[in-house]
Amino acid sequence: MLTENFKNMTSSKSQKLYLVFFLFLGCMPSKQEATPVVATAPPAATQTTTSENHEHKPGDHGGIIVSLGRDSYHVEAVFDDQGKVRLFTLGQDETRVIDIEAKELNGFVKSEGATEAQSIAFVPDPQPGDAPGRTSLFIAKLPESLTGKAVEITVPNLSIDGERFRLAFTNATTVHAGDSHALSSMPSKVSDDEEEALYLQPGGHYTEEDIAANGRTTPYQKFRGIPSTHDMNPKPGDRICPITETKANPKFVWIIGGKSYQFCCPPCIDEFLQTAKSAKSELPDPDSFILGESKP
């Protein structure tokens, strides 16, 4: 494969064991769908009038997008390795951020397959641009006993502009037969604490000039609102992602070592840049990531 030398160069890093969820959700092909989950949390005092459609898709923050109602609204759920769960509220158009009333959301969490759930609180964390008294982000902390495990979460009474929804999602996902390569090669998003240091501090092949050329920002800020779609069947002549070998997205370009590389999604930029900052040998040329004609 085109990326064999690159992966050998970083074998100690790329062989790191990731939880299945973080691998899958960090960069999930759009043709895959997560298994629908109905969490058995206690019912809300007042029945919601609209239930959600469990259609799971890859999100801009490396999580999954769950539709509410008949795609009236969306929520992106993002887990990190510290046990934090973030809920980003989105409009009917999944690229449009919306803010809703900034009040604490009561939820329930349980391990996958369990019958007893624990209470969990999603606290408002208003973002720049949110109106006073409103927020587009809620954050909760998983109980220590459930951190790093497959869990199911339910928010039974999510209110958006007078409409109420029952939100349910899970970090346990299934992979379709034949997609094991995709699962094994999908990286997870770096934590928020690591993100700034990774992208705004030079190191190895990543220089101050590169940081300036990239706009002194991170991919999660620069490409916010651009959905990550994945083509698992690139054609000869297509540029492919250096990490997943899926078709690269020309919108996801990052300059490293003075050269422009194309990726399929921001989490793949994370992994490539981490390697570039620690690699002793030269990085592969961007043109080496062009799919050639298959040999008979």
pLDDT digits (tens, 9 = 90+) for 235-247: 999 999 998 888 9
> Rounded mean pLDDT of 102-111?
94
What would the mean pLDDT of 275-279 be, rounded to a whole number?
93
261 inside domain:
yes
Token pair, residue 279, equals 């690699």
* Residue at which a domain ends, from 170, 185, 213: 170
Helix axis angle for 266-278 and 192-200, nearest 10°, is 60
Average pLDDT, rounded, for the chain: 78
pLDDT in tens, 198-251: 999 999 999 999 999 999 999 989 988 777 766 778 899 999 999 888 899 999
Q: Residue 64 belongs to what domain range? A: 33-170
Higher per-residue pLDDT: 59 or 161? 161
Domains in the chain, number: 2
Report the C-alpha gap between 138 and 86 in whole angstroms.
Answer: 6
| Domain end call among 128, 149, 170 | 170
d(CA 178, CA 204): 37
Final residue in a domain of this structure, among 170, 186, 207: 170
